[in-house]
Amino acid sequence: MVLTACLIASFFVPYPWNIVLVISGLVLETGEVIWGRRLARARAKTGVEAMIGRRATVVDPCRPDGKVRLRGELWNATCADGADPGETVIVIAEDALTLQVERADRSSQRDDAPRPSGEFS
């Protein structure tokens, strides 16, 4: 698109500047194509994979079932260790619209080996 605009504009510019305009249009067009390919390759994280590892706040006590607020939404949650309202938890998995969470202080103490999404351990 940039190249087309530069080619059209080059008809209205005197001799040495029209060549500079076309060359700069080629450079900009090449950059635009490279940037567009990079954006097309990037995969947006949505759904469950975007929630794993996120911090949530406990709304109803999780002993073991309760509710958490994650990014402004209320979710049913299960916390094996239990968590009180106001505590921060980390989402480790999801199953049938129920998040499996663990307390943030516990998750920082364990080794941070990645877990497959949707798997309970």
CB 106, CB 81: distance < 8 Å: yes
- Give the per-residue pLDDT at 108: 57
Instruction: Using 70 as the pLDDT threshold, list the residues of the chain that sit under it.
Output: 44, 106-121
Q: In DSSP terms, which residues pair with 102 in a beta bridge?
A: 90
Cis upstream peptide for 14 (omega within 30°): no
Q: What is the pLDDT of residue 41?
A: 82
Place of tokens 């305009």: 21
The pLDDT, as a whole number, for residue 40 is 84
Q: What is the DSSP string of the chain?
A: -HHHHHHHHHTTS-HHHHHHHHHHHHHHHHHHHHHHHHHHHPPPP-THHHHTT-EEEEEE-BSSEEEEEETTEEEEEEETT-B-TT-EEEEEEEETTEEEEEEHHHHHHS------TT---
Q: Is 77:99 a contact under the CB 8 Å cutoff?
A: yes
With CA atoms as reference, report the closest residue to 45 among 121, 119, 120, 117. 117
Confidence at residue 29, expressed as pLDDT on a 0 to 100 scale: 95
| Predicted local confidence at residue 38, as pLDDT | 87
Q: Taking the complete model, does pTM exceed 0.75, yes or no?
A: no
pLDDT in tens, 5-33: 999 999 999 999 999 999 999 999 999 99
